[in-house]
Amino acid sequence: MPPSRRKFKLPHPEPTDALTYARFTGISTFMRLPHITQPEELDVALIGVPFDGGTTYRPGPRFGPRHVRAQSAIIRPWNPVLHVNPFAKHRTADFGDLPVNPLSIEDTFSRIERGIAPLLEVGVRCVCVGGDHSISLPILRAVAKKHGPVSLIQFDAHNDLWDEYFGSKYSHGTPFRRAFEEDLLKDGEVLQVGLRGQVYGEDDFDFAREHKVRMVTAEKFHKKGIAVVQSHLRAFRRKPVYVTLDIDAVDPAFAPGTGTPQVGGLTSVWAATSSKSRHPMTPEKLLRCLPPIFSSNCSASSKWPPSRANFACTTISLWLSGP
Ligand SMILES: [Mn+2]
C-alpha cells in the first residue's frame, strides 16, 4: 500500500501494549486498536460485517468479527520479515460493525453499501471481516460507484459464480456472478486461487470461461507453487484490485470453522511464504496493485476454532504490512 497522501495532525493509534495491559484484558477490538468511527481520521478501517443470511450449509459467520477481534489480541506491531510497523505507517483503527439486518439479505446489502460509501469517499482503505461471502456484492457495489469496475483476486475453494440457490439470486455462492452482471468486475481481470471440490457438472465453469476468469485450482497450486499465481499478476498491475480471502481457501485442517469445508486446500505455510520480502507474491507487490478494499469471509460455526480467526487476522496483518 503506498504511504498515505493525507496528512494527519493526530498521533497514530497503536495496539494496546501487551507488556502493560495483558492480552486478555480490556474491551475486545480488532488488533487491540482503538474504536474510531470518524472516516476522516483513518487511512485503514478494520470493519466487521457480521452477517450470515447468505449461507446455505453451516451457519455462524455472524460471529466471525467478534471472534476475529478476540483472536487478534495476539497481534504484535512489528513485522520482522518486512521490517515494518503497519500501525506507525497508516492510521488504522477498529471502525466497528456495520448495522446488518439478520432477517433480510436485500436490506443488509443496502446497509453495507451505505456503510462503506463514506469511508471510500474520503479515501479510507477498508478491510472488511465477514460474515459470509455474500457481503462481497454490496461492498463491490460501493467500490464500483467510487472507482468504476475493479479487478478481483479471490482466494477461495469455490468460484462463487453460481446463478441461484432455492430461487434466490443472493447467497454466499453467487456474489461474483451478480457482480459481473452489474458490471462491477472486468472480464479477464478476475483471478481465483485455491479452487477445488466437486461441482454439479462441467457446465458450472461455463460462466467463468465466458468472462475469462483466471482459475488456479488447489491441485495446480500444490503442483507448481506460487509461480502459477505470479504468472497472472501482470494483468493486475497498477489497477485497483479488490482482494478477498474466503477462509475455506485454506485447508480445514488449519481452519476448520468454515461454512462449506473442502479438503486439499492451501496450508498456513502459504501465508508465511507469501510474506517473504523477495518472494514473487509479496504483500508489497500485491498492495502495489492499490487494493481499495479487502474482505475476509469469516465463518464461525458452533465448533469455532481459534486457529481460523487467528489465520484471518495474521493474513490481514501481513498484507497491511506492505510499504
Ligand atoms: Mn468458499
What nine digits make up the cell of 268? 498456513
Residue (of 311, 227, 222) closest to 271 by Cα position: 311
pLDDT < 70 stretches in the chain: 1-6, 81-82, 271-323
> Rounded to the nearest whole angstrom, what is the distance from the C-alpha of residue 161 to the centroid of ligand 1?
11
> Rounded to the nearest whole angstrom, what is the distance from the C-alpha of residue 14 to the centroid of ligand 1?
33
- Give the pLDDT of residue 240: 83
Residue (of 273, 311, 292) closest to 184 by Cα position: 292
Counting beta carbons within 10 angstroms of the beta carbon of residue 85, is it exposed (0 to 12), middle (13 to 18) or buried (19 or more)?
middle
- Give the pLDDT of residue 319: 58
Global confidence as pTM: 0.88
> Rounded to the nearest whole angstrom, what is the distance from the C-alpha of residue 172 to the centroid of ligand 1?
8
Cell 436485500 belongs to: 106
User: Do residues 132 and 258 touch, judged by C-beta distance below 8 A?
Assistant: no
- Give the pLDDT of residue 313: 55
- Give the pLDDT of residue 302: 37
Q: Which DSSP string corresponds to 121-148?
A: HTTPEEEEEES-GGGHHHHHHHHHHHH-
Domains of the chain: 30-321 (3.40.800.10)
**Rounded to whole angstroms, what are the CA distances from 68 to 64, 72, 136, 274, 288?**
6, 6, 18, 21, 26
pLDDT tens-digit profile of 20-78?
999 999 999 999 999 999 999 998 899 999 999 999 998 888 988 988 898 888 888 88
Residue (of 15, 25, 173) closest to 79 by Cα position: 15
Residue (of 172, 164, 165) closest to 130 by Cα position: 172
Q: Which helix (H) or strand (E) holds 201?
A: none
Identify the bridge partners of residue 45 per DSSP, sorted by sequence position. 93, 126
What nine digits make up the cell of 27? 474491551
> Rounded to the nearest whole angstrom, what is the distance from the C-alpha of residue 252 to the centroid of ligand 1?
12
43 three-state secondary structure: coil
> Rounded to the nearest whole angstrom, what is the distance from the C-alpha of residue 111 to the centroid of ligand 1?
23
Rounded CA separation 312/271 (Å): 10
> Rounded to the nearest whole angstrom, what is the distance from the C-alpha of residue 135 to the centroid of ligand 1?
13
- Give the pLDDT of residue 304: 41
Rounded CA separation 77/231 (Å): 32
What nine digits make up the cell of 121? 469517499
> Rounded to the nearest whole angstrom, what is the distance from the C-alpha of residue 263 to the centroid of ligand 1?
12
> Rounded to the nearest whole angstrom, what is the distance from the C-alpha of residue 250 to the centroid of ligand 1?
10
State the distance between the two ends of the chain, measured CA to CA, in whole angstroms: 5
> Rounded to the nearest whole angstrom, what is the distance from the C-alpha of residue 4 to the centroid of ligand 1?
32
Identify the bridge partners of residue 243 per DSSP, sorted by sequence position. 153, 294
